[in-house]
Chain A
Amino acid sequence: MISKKDRLRVNIVWVIGIFLVWELAAFLLAGVLKDPMADAKLPYLHNIILVIIQNFGELMSAAGLTFSRAILGFSLGALVGFLLAIIMSLSKTVEKIAFPYLIFSQMVPVLGLAPIIFNLVGDMNTSRTIIAAYITFFPVSVNMLSGLTSVENEKKELMYSYAAGKKSIYYKLMIPYSLPYLFAGLKIAAPMSVTASILVDMLGSSGGIGVKLLYSLYSGTKDMFWASVFTSAAMGIISYTIILFLEKKCIPWNKEVVQKEGA
């Protein structure tokens, strides 16, 4: 059992450890190997942090815009992914028909998709949310489905023997049983929704981290580029932590979660 205090201490050690390793690597690259592109390959971490602090307000307002769009896209994508998984688990036929096409859907790049969505929706902002959701739904669907199909037949049979209806089997057995799977999917999808949102920032949005990234990349302002990368990574951690928190709230019976989080 790990107490909260211990967890905090562990995390602090991790942060310091990463900082030191990064600084050392950057020093080796720039100072010892004299790599001329060191500031593009791996700039000093303290430099990046400095740039973030200097441009904090600007970065935060851009991050806010991107994050709010990510939440919207994530909610929509997770909902669609969840429903798709339920439908597919209800009918093997639907699963067999739909699954190859889900893969197909994942292979259509945004560049090919965007004009079609724009044409259908006609509004840039709605289109962006739809595209973000589109990128997010897949891992949720796959994980939820593998959760639903992992329920042992004995359990289902037991429920049947109690004369439980399909609906109550889902409510009482299948969905609760699949929750850990669902959350594994959500944990993968949450940071992905941030990336998706950054990607749609680049679809002609006037603000957001994506615009910052693209612009700093294009104009060769390396420190701003790395600061933006860090901001997006930080958004990823936040989204991941939110899901962890929700997981603890939603599946308190999950022994592992309780154990690991040391409640």
Chain B
Amino acid sequence: MKDKIKNIILPVSFGILIIALWEGGVIHKVLDFKPFQLPIPSQIIKTLGKNFEKATLDTVTTVNGAMVGLVIGCLIGFLVAVIATQFPKWGYTGLTVIATFNAIPIVALSPIMNRWFESGFGQKVGVVSVVCMGAMAINAYRGLNDLKPFARDLMESYAATGKEVFFKLRLPNCLPSIFTAIKINVPAALMAAMISEYFAASTSGLGFGVKDNLRKGMMAMGWSYIVMASLVGIILYLLIILVERKAIKWHASQR
């Protein structure tokens, strides 16, 4: 119990320290910034307060798209990993193909998706799905195949079928990797959704808020959107960690 309190207090107090230094102008002095280049926290909060209703709506728009895309992307990625595992000869190349998608910049992906989907939502989901596939495929593949030495031999000596090896050995072994992939994908999905909004045919979403305001030099407003995005990112991340704790209690990383 003591540990749990420590887990919360430490990062929070570190955050408070940073915010205090930032608010007090220490960071600005050290880095030689003017307050209008990097707004101070109280200014950001004040701006956020004034614009809270719209900022919340924008957050919901972005998070919706990011989550739907995340789920689709992760499913596809996982499927590819399973195929690559079950059919090592023919499926393995699929991993390379999927990894390739990670090298298509979002800036290029967004206009392509703009052509495919008329709605801003569809475009966002398309972009996020593509971005999330790679990390899941690679991590899930490692989890499905990086088995404990002799575990498979043992199973096989019991005359376990391929199906049994998969469900009883590979799949549980893969769970921690799936969580690793989701942990990478959560911020990536939010970021991809935001960047796709730079180009989307709509004027809502966190990404639009960031781009529109930063370009106009409305720094405090722009940063208030960045703060919203970060908060959502951290909350989602904590949720994942919570689920992870429940799901893979047995794993070394949780002890």
Query: Does A10 reach chain B (CB closer than 8 Å)?
Result: yes
**Cross-chain contact B115 with A37 (CB below 8 angstroms):** yes
Query: Does A235 reach chain B (CB closer than 8 Å)?
Result: yes
Q: Say which one of A52-60, A123-131, A137-145, A159-167 lies at the interface with B.
A: A137-145
Query: Does B90 reach chain A (CB closer than 8 Å)?
Result: yes
A-B contact count (CB 8 A): 194
Contacts of A191 in B (CB 8 A): 99-100, 102-103, 134
Chain B min CB distance to A154 (Å): 9
Q: How many interface residues does chain B have, given as a range?
A: 35 or more
A100-118 vs B, CB cutoff 8 Å, 1 = contact: the mask equals 1101101111011001100
**Cross-chain contact B223 with A232 (CB below 8 angstroms):** no
Query: Does B80 reach chain A (CB closer than 8 Å)?
Result: no
Query: Does B172 reach chain A (CB closer than 8 Å)?
Result: no
Q: How many interface residues does chain A have, given as a range?
A: 35 or more
Q: A109-B210, A120-B31, A195-B103 are in contact. Are A103 and B187 (CB under 8 A)?
A: yes
Contacts of B51 in A (CB 8 A): none
Query: Does A14 reach chain B (CB closer than 8 Å)?
Result: yes
Nearest A residue to B180 by beta-carbon distance? A146
A13-38 vs B, CB cutoff 8 Å, 1 = contact: the mask equals 11000100000000000000000010
Contact of B230 among A104, A139, A213, A229 (CB under 8 A): A104
**Cross-chain contact B187 with A106 (CB below 8 angstroms):** yes
Contacts of A241 in B (CB 8 A): 96
29 A–B contact pairs at CB < 8 A? A10-B93, A40-B115, A96-B11, A103-B187, A104-B230, A109-B191, A109-B195, A112-B214, A112-B223, A142-B183, A142-B184, A143-B180, A146-B176, A150-B252, A188-B184, A191-B100, A191-B134, A195-B105, A199-B105, A210-B105, A213-B107, A217-B107, A229-B104, A229-B112, A236-B102, A237-B96, A237-B100, A240-B99, A241-B96
Q: Which B residues contact A (CB, under 8 angstroms)?
A: 6-7, 10-11, 14-15, 31-33, 37-38, 88-90, 92-94, 96-97, 99-108, 111-112, 115-116, 134-135, 138-139, 142, 145-146, 149, 176-177, 179-180, 183-184, 186-188, 190-191, 194-195, 207, 210-211, 214-215, 222-223, 226, 229-230, 233-234, 237, 251-253, 255
5 nearest CB pairs, A to B = A236-B103, A191-B102, A191-B103, A106-B187, A149-B253
